[in-house]
Amino acid sequence: MKKVLAAVVAAFAAFIGYKFLKLNEMMLASREMPVKHLNCQYLKNIEYGAEDITILKDGLAFLSTGLKYPGLPSFSDEPGKIYILDLLHPKPTPVELQIKGELDLNSFNPHGISVYTDEADDSVYLFVVNHPEHKSQVEIFHLVQEDTLVHLKTIAHPLLHRCVLYDQSLTVSHLLHLTIYKRFISLIVSFSVNDILAVGKESFYATNDHYFASDVLHFLTLILDYPMCEVVYYSPEEVRVAANGFLSANGINISPDKRYIYVSDIVGHDIKVYERQQGEQLRFLKSVAVGSLCDNIEVDHRTGDIWLGCHPNGQKLVKYDPEDLAGSEVIRIKNILSEKPVMSLEYGDDGHVLVASTVAAPFEGKLLIGSIFHKALYCDLK
Ligand SMILES: [Ca+2]
Ligand SMILES: [Ca+2]
């Protein structure tokens, strides 16, 4: 009996050890960052992160800044803001957009963003994932006069998961006393909606970066490699899960012809490609491995190339050691729909220039790179 018990304990210990090795692999904990620099300068006024950036065809860029994400540093007590930047200007400088309407600006905590342009009258609508008091909701704004956003609507729905308050939750690190994973665990005790893709004046796709409100359960889905996160479709008439099977769904975007949708599974290290079908059904086409923890997705409106802001080493990101900072990585994928997509490293830094890149938005030979809590770069690609 004792021998059986010992064998069971040994097998369980081996299983747990194996799973923690897998977790290290998921976090790319031992990965060294290849450095590739471009001619870049810091964007003025962006000191506390620009988690998401998107650029209109006419060169107007929107930046969502000042995200406070549980478990990650934040160096400002100020609420988040939305900035605008004109890339056609010889010296592009981000300008804070004024927000009018009934939105509580003191708790504004903007995360993923997306723009919808109504072709009937060229009206521009900005969709923003917002986390006031650790909740997840979507704000829809109308851009007026190039310097003002008018708040139109807040959308909350059970499929756009709300999460338990971080301070009230029991973290797995408390259970396991594993300080090395403490920040990683903190990271996943978080809000749920990450990024958004607007496809109409009031309709969008949104990604959930974890399925369970309980961090303990979410941690189990990761350690057991059980992909449960979803992409949700929302319209005033219908809300449903449009795609699932993600360990953690993060960035989402669309091809220039609006036929294909791309979703980054940040922990799965791949980009999933879907064909958008009638009635906003998504048909899975394929996964493209990227070898990095890729966050938001931007698409070059001319070439259709995919640009990814990625975290080269997730452990460094969640540990946050000022002596050994997380780096930044920008990956481009050409011809993602072909049998042999071409992937290239466009920017790489070990954290000396930019910490924790999340997004890379190209426009006519220029590139904007944003980060979670650090600065943002304006780079020349030529
Ligand atoms: Ca986005
Ligand atoms: Ca993101």
CA-to-CA separations, 356 to 107, 325, 374, in angstroms, rounded:
24, 8, 7
What's this model's pTM, rounded to 2 decimal places?
Answer: 0.90
Q: What pLDDT does 63 receive? A: 98
Ligand nearest to the Cα of 128, by number: 1
- % of the chain beyond a pLDDT of 70: 91
Q: Which of 108-117, 226-235, 342-351 has the lowest mean pLDDT?
A: 226-235
Cα 296 to averaged position of ligand 1 atoms, centre (Å): 6
State the distance from the centre of ligand 2 to the C-alpha of 239, rounded, in angstroms: 22
111 part of the active site: yes
C-alpha gyration radius of the chain = 20
Q: Give the 3-state DSSP-derived string for 173-218, with helices as H, strands as E and coil as C.
A: HHHHCCHHHHHHHHHHCCCCEEEEEECCCCCEEEEECCCCCCHHHH
Q: Would you say 113 is a known binding-site residue?
A: yes
Give the C-alpha separation, 205 to 231, whole Å.
7
225 annotated ligand-binding residue: no
pLDDT single digits (tens) 133-152: 989 999 999 999 889 999 99
Q: What is the mean pLDDT of the chain?
A: 90
| Active-site choice (37, 111, 142, 151) | 111
Q: Mind listing the pLDDT tens digit for each residue in 316-349?
A: 999 999 999 999 999 999 999 999 999 999 999 9
What's the pLDDT tens digit per position in 372-382?
999 999 999 98
CATH number of the 2-380 domain? 2.120.10.30
The alpha carbon of 15 and the centre of ligand 1 are apart by a number of angstroms equal to 37
195 is in an annotated binding site: yes
CA–centroid distance, 229 to ligand 2, in Å, is: 14
Token pair listed for 20: 């923690």
Under the banding of pLDDT at 50, 70 and 90, the label for residue 172 is very low
